[in-house]
């Protein structure tokens, strides 16, 4: 049957390759994917792996909905997602070099923001598959990992990773920015000690964003 051949699995050297038939429509692909996963559960052990798509070119939304299916049907923890569909070999190679860690996320930003109604203390962590709003301080030793933006109504002293699934457009905004380190997508910046001392206990709302290859910090009033 045409439908059953619209998705083929292959074990690659670093993960699972899912080959999508060029001529199948997207509904057939997602149905077939669900069916195949169910019938071959052994293939999908509880492991951390990379998923690559090959063959039919997919829109970003379509990739996400396939990932959703894999998440629903397996215990697989997906560490990387690669979209190799419709690429030339040169492009594929380039993509492989730049592939981005997904953090603890198995899919990409949803619209729902997570509101946390207190601060975070040392050792406490939030990871959310979207934006995060925190009403309180994030103390040193606390961690916020978000696929989207992070807005803090308080001081940031701990670690924040915004755009953790690779979104360079993500930003971090806080009433007082004094983190030891700040991450947006795959960029990392650290704050020099003397700068932290200046910021100490001052309310000085800023936001951090990525421009080019660097993280910039700017007053929120601009």
Partner 1 sequence: MGEVIVVTSGKGGVGKTTTSANIGCGLAIAGKNVVLIDADIGLRNLDVVMGLENRIVYDLVDVVEGKCRLKQALIKDKRYPTMFLLAAAQTKDKSAVSPEQMMKLCETLREEYDYIIIDCPAGIEQGFKNAIAGADRAVVVATPEVSSVRDADRIVGLLEASEIKNIRLILNRLRPDMIRRGEMMTIEDVTDILAIDVLGLVPDDESIVVSTNKGEPAVADNNSRAGQAFRNITQRIMGNEVPFMDLEETGGLMNWLKKIFRIGNGK
Nearest distance in Å: CB 58, partner 1:
43
Intra-chain end-to-end CA distance of the chain, in Å: 60
Bridging pattern class, strands 159-162 and 181-184: parallel
Nearest distance in Å: CB 206, partner 1:
18
Scanning 32-40, 63-71, 100-108, 138-146 for contacts with partner 1 by CB under 8 A, the matching segment is: 138-146
Q: Which is nearer to partner 1, 140 or 217 (CB)?
A: 140
Kindly tell me which residue out of 55, 103, 119, 166 binds partner 1, with binding defined by CB under 8 A. 119
Helices 26-39 and 60-73, packing angle to 10 deg: 20
**Dihedral sign computed on CA atoms, order 69, 70, 74, 75:** negative
List of residues 6+ apart from 122 with CB closer than 8 A: 139, 140, 141, 142, 158
Question: Could you give the CA distance from residue 28 to residue 182 in angstroms, rounded to a whole number?
Answer: 43
Q: Which is nearer to partner 1, 45 or 195 (CB)?
A: 195
Scanning 16-24, 62-70, 71-79, 132-140 for contacts with partner 1 by CB under 8 A, the matching segment is: 132-140
Is 183 a binder of partner 1 (CB under 8 A)?
no
Q: Which is nearer to partner 1, 11 or 123 (CB)?
A: 123
Site residues for partner 1 per CB under 8 A: 119-124, 137, 139-141, 155, 157, 200-201
């Amino acid at each position: 049957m045409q439908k059953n051949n619209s998705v083929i699995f292959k074990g690659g050297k670093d993960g699972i390759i899912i080959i999508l038939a060029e001529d199948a429509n997207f509904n057939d692909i997602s149905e077939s994917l669900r069916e195949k996963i169910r019938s071959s559960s052994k293939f999908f052990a509880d492991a951390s792996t990379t998923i690559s798509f090959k063959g039919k070119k997919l829109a970003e939304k379509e990739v996400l909905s396939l990932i959703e299916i894999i998440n629903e049907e397996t215990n697989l923890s997906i560490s990387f997602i690669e979209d190799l569909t419709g690429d030339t070999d040169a492009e594929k190679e380039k993509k492989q070099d730049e592939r981005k860690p997904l953090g603890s996320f198995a899919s990409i930003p949803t619209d729902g923001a997570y509101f946390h109604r207190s601060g975070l203390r040392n050792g406490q962590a939030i990871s959310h598959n979207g934006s995060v709003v925190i009403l309180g301080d994030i103390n040193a030793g606390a961690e916020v990992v978000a696929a989207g933006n992070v807005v803090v109504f308080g001081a940031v002293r701990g670690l924040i990773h915004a755009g953790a699934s690779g979104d360079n457009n993500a930003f971090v905004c806080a009433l007082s920015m004094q983190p030891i380190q700040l991450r947006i997508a795959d960029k990392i910046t650290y704050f020099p000690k003397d700068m932290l001392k200046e910021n100490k206990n001052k309310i000085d709302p800023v936001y951090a964003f990525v421009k080019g290859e660097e993280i910039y910090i700017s007053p929120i009033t601009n």
